[in-house]
Amino acid sequence: MVSALLSDIGGLAKGLKTTFQHLFRPPVTFQYPEVKRPMFPRFRGRHVLRRYENGLERCIGCELCAGVCPAQAIYVEAAENTDEERYSPGERYAKRYEINMLRCIFCGYCQEVCPTEAIVLGHEYELADYDQASFIYTKERLLEPWPPQGAPAAPVR
């Protein structure tokens, strides 16, 4: 009984010693809004619709992304390119391209299925907003700006 008591006290002392030592470790906290965690290169954040180097949109309006999306968050409406109004190199382009960010689960199937690598998941993750309507990301918000400004939104693989 005495030995059991002693081993109990030993256990207590060991636990207390451990927590006391932790007191002097540097905290692992990131001071978030000021300091951000380093991001992994394959992080899946907000989508970006990419362009070719000459400024033409990569998206050809095939709707594969809309079809594969498990959350049915993507809506694509395709239209024909004409010689006067040309958006993408092929026959068709996306006239409307909308992603509902409230439904999106960031699985990345859309970027995997895309035949032209037009849609990729970028590194932006601060997507909070005040009303539901602003979570419908339209083509204008998703498309890379042209001419290019600063660094690309996602690294080109």
Q: Which residues bind other proteins (CB under 8 A)?
A: 12, 15-16, 18-20, 22-23, 25-29, 31
The least CB distance from residue 140 to other proteins, in Å, is 36
Enumerate residues 6+ apart whose C-beta is below 8 A from 12.
none
Q: Toward other proteins, which CB reaches closer, 29 or 54?
A: 29
The tokens 């382009």 sit on which residue?
93
109 backbone dihedrals φ, ψ, rounded to 5° = -60, -35
The least CB distance from residue 15 to other proteins, in Å, is 5
The least CB distance from residue 16 to other proteins, in Å, is 5
Q: Toward other proteins, which CB reaches closer, 34 or 53?
A: 34
Question: CA 109, CA 69: separation in Å to the nearest integer?
Answer: 7
Side-chain-side CA neighbours of 34 within 13 Å: the count stands at 3
Q: Toward other proteins, which CB reaches closer, 20 or 130?
A: 20
